[in-house]
Amino acid sequence: MEYFAQQMVNGVTLGSVYGLIAIGYTMVYGIIGMINFAHGDIFMISTFISLITFIALLSIGITWIPLALLIVLIISMAMTAVYGWTVERLAYRPLRASFRLAPLITAIGMSIVLQNYVQIVQGARVKPLPPIIKGSYTLMEKNGFTVQISNMQILIILTTIILMLAFSALISKTSLGRCQRACEQDQTMAALLGINVDRTISLTFIMGASLASVAGLMYLLYYGVIDFYIGFVVGIKAFTAAVLGGIGSLPGAMLGGLIIGLVETFWSAYFSIEYKDVAAFSILIIVLIFMPSGLLDKPEVEKV
């Protein structure tokens, strides 16, 4: 039971990170209906920017951790947003009116570019970062086994909840959210009504990239090691989460992230760590057999 509770805590933490990245996939899919394959690599870039900024701050003498982290977060969000915007501008916008597979191929191409770019400019070795946020609370203690939640885990879960609430409000309450929903339904009509479609789509990419950069910072602080390849693995998981929850749905992305995170953690804890990815993907396939459009998506009725 205690072991179970501990794994629950770990799984929810992992799921939160996946959920944050999954939102980026789901928002882009919702608005232009394409799989942004480069999103995982945007996440990877954000971890690198965070790491570099953090070390740079330490080297110029800013050692008070909360301030340093705040600066890192702001810089990382801004720079990653520039990357997200650039990818959209270079690889997706020229193909907006093209057929479905064209942007998918440019997205895969961009993903290859970003991975190799980071490998070239930062080297292929893993980059370690010593743990920065330490300390933990004991939730319960029984039979000599303690269930702990670390400060880092609390930070991750809290940040995710706050960002989720903020984003839901942004989509449902603000004019930008209204523009996004309008573009989602009908781009031509939205343009006729005076919405700048290109700008809205760019902003969507910027928002997705910023969220990914928050997830990137969390990932960096939680795991402490990054390399140029993490974007692929984490990206695929997050994308799986987005599809599992019903791609295009914000709560779905979060739910999918939690499910994937929990499945992975419990499978590693109780069965075998080697096959945790197989477990996550199998859950996806099984769910899609019975609910072909994910958990929270309303079934699309195709009309002729």
Partner 1 sequence: MDRTSEKQQSSLMKNALIEALISAAIALALSIFMIGLRTSTATGGLVLTYRIPLVASLVTLVFFGRLAFNLFWWSRSTVHTKGPKRRGTRKKQLGTGVLSLPRVSLFLVFSLPIILFVLNAKLNLGLPLRYWFDIATLVLTYIMLGWGLNIVVGMAGLLDLGYVAFYAVGAYSYALLAQHFGLSFWLCLPLAGLLAACWGALLGFPVLRLRGDYLAIVTLAFGEIIRIILLNWYQFTGGPDGLSGIPRPSFFGLPFKRYGDNTFHLFFGLEYSTLHRILFLYYLILILALITNAITNKVRCLPIGRAWEALREDEIACRSLGINTVNTKLTAFATGAMFGGFAGSFFATRQGFISPESFTFIESAIILAIVVLGGLGSQIGVVIASIVMIGGFELIRNMAWLKLVFGQDFDPSLYRMLLFGMAMVTIMVWKPRGFISRREPTVFLKETAL
List CB contacts of 279: < 8 A, sequence separation 6 or more.
263, 264, 267, 271
Per CB under 8 A, the list member of 116, 146, 151, 172 interacting with partner 1 is 116
194: left (phi over 0), alpha (psi -120 to 50) or beta: left
Q: Is 120 near partner 1 (CB under 8 A)?
A: yes
For partner 1, the binding residues in 237-256 under the rule CB under 8 A are 239-240, 243, 247
Q: How far apart are the first and last CA of the chain?
A: 53
Shortest distance, CB of residue 10 to partner 1, whole angstroms? Answer: 21
For partner 1, the binding residues in 22-51 under the rule CB under 8 A are 29, 33, 35, 45, 48-49, 51
For partner 1, the binding residues in 189-228 under the rule CB under 8 A are none
User: Which of 257, 264, 256 has the alpha carbon at shortest distance from 287?
Assistant: 256
149: left (phi over 0), alpha (psi -120 to 50) or beta: beta
Closer residue to partner 1 in complex, CB, 100/199: 100
For partner 1, the binding residues in 55-94 under the rule CB under 8 A are 55-56, 59, 75, 78-79, 82-83, 86, 90-91, 94
d(CA 109, CA 118): 14
Closer residue to partner 1 in complex, CB, 95/171: 95
User: Which of 277, 273, 204, 210 has the alpha carbon at shortest distance from 239?
Assistant: 277
Closer residue to partner 1 in complex, CB, 13/240: 240
**Residue 9 dihedral angles phi and psi, to the nearest 5°:** -60, -45
- CA 104, 26, 304, 96 dihedral sign is negative
Q: Is 53 near partner 1 (CB under 8 A)?
A: yes
Residue 127 pairs with which residues in a beta bridge? Answer: 226
For residue 201, give both structure tokens.
Answer: 């789509």
Shortest distance, CB of residue 95 to partner 1, whole angstroms? Answer: 6
Q: Give yes or no for a contact between 294 and 254, defined as CB atoms under 8 angstroms apart.
A: no
Q: Is 168 near partner 1 (CB under 8 A)?
A: no
Instruction: Provide the mask over 90-109, with x wherever binding to partner 1 is found by CB under 8 A and - wherever it is not.
Output: xx--xx--xxxxx-xxx-xx
Per CB under 8 A, the list member of 8, 168, 232, 295 interacting with partner 1 is 232
Q: Is 119 near partner 1 (CB under 8 A)?
A: yes
Q: Is 236 near partner 1 (CB under 8 A)?
A: yes
Closer residue to partner 1 in complex, CB, 5/291: 291
